[in-house]
Every structure is written in C-alpha cells, then in structure tokens.
Amino acid sequence: MKPITVYDIAKEANVSVATVSRVLNNTAPVKKATRDRITELINKYQFQPNALARSLTKKETGMIGIILPDITNPFFPEILAGFDKAARSKGYTYFLCDTVSSNEDNTDQYARESQYLSLLMEKQVDGIVMIGGRIDLAKPGQELTNEVMELGKRVPIVLVNGNLPGAGLTRVAADEKLGAELATQHLIDQGHKEIAIIGGFKHMSNTIARTQGFTRTMEKNGLPIRKEWMINGGFSVRKGFRFMEELLQGKVRPTAVVCVNDLIAFGALKAATKAGLRVPDDLSLVGYDDIPFASYTSPELTTISLKAEELGSQAADILHKLITKNKVPKLTKIVPELRIRESTAPPASLSAN
C-alpha cells in the first residue's frame, strides 16, 4: 500500500521521471500523446506529488508560520480570518502557533515563542508572522530582539501590532494612539468631562500608546486627568469588573470611561449594571478592538475598530511580497475607526439641563 510516486507513473507510461515532472509542472513542452498518457495515469491513481520532496529541491515550501498569544482571545481569530483569506489566495498554508492558551503556568510565553521560532525554521517555512507577545512589550529584552532580528535575516518576518525597536523588521500596525484619541474625543464631544481610562498593562506598548492617546486628547481639550481614574493591571472581563468597581467606590465618579479593550469594557458594563447604573444613561463606556461580541451585548458597545481583518490580510500581502523579494514599506499603518453604537451618550448632567 505504498503511495505511488513519479517513478511509478513514469514506468507505466514508459517515460522518464523528468517527463512526468514536466507535465506536472508544465515546465517544458511535452508531446501531446505523451502528456495525455501521463495525465491519465495521474488521474487513474489520484497521484499527488510529495510536497516534502518537492520543497526540498525547490527550496520553498508554501508554508508560513503565524505566532500569536492566545487564539481564545477573540481579537486574534479576526486577524486570522483576514490573514487566512489573503494567504490562501496566494497559495500558502500556515502553522498556527499559540504561545499562551496551551500554556498552563503561563510563565514562559517568550520561551515558547522562541521554541516556535526555531521549530518553524526547521520546517523551512517561507515566512513568519508574529502577533503580540514579546513584540508587545514596551521595552523587550535585547536578547529577544536579537534572536528575532537574526532570524529575520534568514527568513521574512512581519510583525503585526507590535515592535522590536532596533530590529528593523517589517511591521503592520494599527495606529493605537489615534484609536484612543478617537475614543476620547468622542466622549468629550458628547459633553463628558470626567473621564477615566481602565485596563491594560503599563509595560505593554499598546497600553502605553492607548493611554497616551487618551492623555493627549484630554489635555488638548483642557480637561483634567485624575490619577486615580487611570487603572491598569489586565485585559480580562474579570479585571474590567474589578477596575470599574474600584472606580465606583471613589468619592467622585467619572461620567464616562475609556476601556483599553472590549473585554475590559464588558467587565465594566457588568459592574456598572450590577451597581444599578444604566449604560449609557448614567455612564458611558467605550471599548477598544471591536471584537465581534461588541455588537452582541445590550447595549451594544461603542468601540474602536482596529480593523483586525485588514491587519491580517495586509500582513499576509506584505509577507508575500517579502517572500517574493518585492519592496515593501517598513511600516504599514492601519487607521482605526470609531464605531458608535449604544454604550455612549451625553452625560446625565447634560441631558438633565
């Protein structure tokens, strides 16, 4: 029951393997009669050339690797969907490498990235996409940077929504700061003055950028920023719940809060609801990321779309260009969009007027 090979086909067709290979790849003219005879055999035996053997000589595998933190976080499947579509249309298949969700102790995400990186090299992938993880760090360790940088010399790498300062790698990224500015300005435009921002980790670049966008917009509008209204320490619904509780315990309460991501916003929504507040009547909430679930809640969540699909498809396009030795910009910025839904409204003080 051995799988059949070009040799089997060649023998039965009374030609050499070279000729079989020629009709397989249409790489040189073959007499019609011969070609027909061969194609017929190929169909008869459902012959499929062994991709390993082919890749070994061709030095290209049509495989790429995508490394991301946690497929269970709904933001990533969105990116992946965009990536998948674009990658496939170009003939690539990809390995999914999740560095967190399969990790019980959660302690060595970066080690896991390294493992995957070298695994992918062994598998001879044509390119690698990295999303999140070490590239999300505000100040990644130099070793980590070097490791990826070295690899970048051997195989095309695209960084999505992150950076390794100094590594000089090609990136595709949402304009995080702009997104936060959009969110904050939207609240201000509605009349809010007492605005808080919650969620994220202060050692992560996206948190920093988003916070910066918030701060800058507040300042630009001459609004005060209260330190106790800037809470971080996580990205989860549970954390969002806690942060909001904390906010609600304060003597003065904000009338609106910018959440560093949608999950935090959901947690905040729950906490607010539980405390008897009505969103958006008593409190406005803006999320960030626009995961699909954002439009499933009631009220539907006003949020910032990072256009995850586009992020993914751009990553694939750019990686492809890199692989085919085309020139690409060092940084492709995706501009985020405000998605106004139901969780934001003018503050009660205003509507009471």
Q: Which residues bind a second copy (CB under 8 A)?
A: 1, 3, 48-53, 55-56, 61, 63, 70-72, 74, 76-78, 80-81, 84-85, 88, 93-98, 101-104, 118-119, 121-124, 154, 237, 263, 266-267, 269-270, 273-274, 292-293, 295-298
Amino acid at site 320: H
Contact 67, 131 (CB under 8 A): yes
Helix (H) or strand (E) holding 198: strand 195-198
Q: Which is nearer to DNA, 22 or 134 (CB)?
A: 22
Separation of alpha carbons 164 and 84, rounded Å:
24
Residues 25-44 that bind DNA (CB under 7 A): 25, 27-35
* Mask for 125-164, x = binds DNA (CB under 7 A): ----------------------------------------
Q: Which is nearer to DNA, 53 or 225 (CB)?
A: 53
CB of 149 to DNA, least distance (A): 22
Separation of alpha carbons 303 and 89, rounded Å:
31
Q: Which entry of DNA, a second copy, none binds 118, CB below 5 to 8 A by partner kind? A: a second copy
Separation of alpha carbons 268 and 256, rounded Å:
11
CB of 17 to a second copy, least distance (A): 16
Closest CA to 117 of 139, 135, 138, 137: 135
For residue 200, what are its two tokens? 């994220």
DSSP 50-105: -HHHHHHHHT--SEEEEEES-TTSTHHHHHHHHHHHHHHHTT-EEEEEESSTT-SS
Stretch touching DNA by CB under 7 A, among 45-53, 242-250, 259-267, 340-348: 45-53
Contact 27, 21 (CB under 8 A): yes
Out of 36, 40, 45, 56, the residue judged to bind DNA by CB under 7 A: 56
118 scored as a contact of DNA (CB under 7 A): no
Q: Which entry of a second copy, DNA, none binds 25, CB below 5 to 8 A by partner kind? A: DNA
Q: Which is nearer to a second copy, 1 or 352 (CB)?
A: 1
DSSP 335: P
Q: Which is nearer to a second copy, 128 or 182 (CB)?
A: 128
Contact 272, 244 (CB under 8 A): yes
Closest CA to 214 of 269, 284, 286, 264: 286
Helix intervals (H) in 90-236: 109-122, 142-154, 176-189, 205-220
CB of 36 to DNA, least distance (A): 10
Q: Which is nearer to a second copy, 18 or 53 (CB)?
A: 53
Q: Tell me which residues touch DNA (CB under 7 A).
A: 2-7, 14-22, 24-25, 27-35, 47-50, 52-54, 56-59
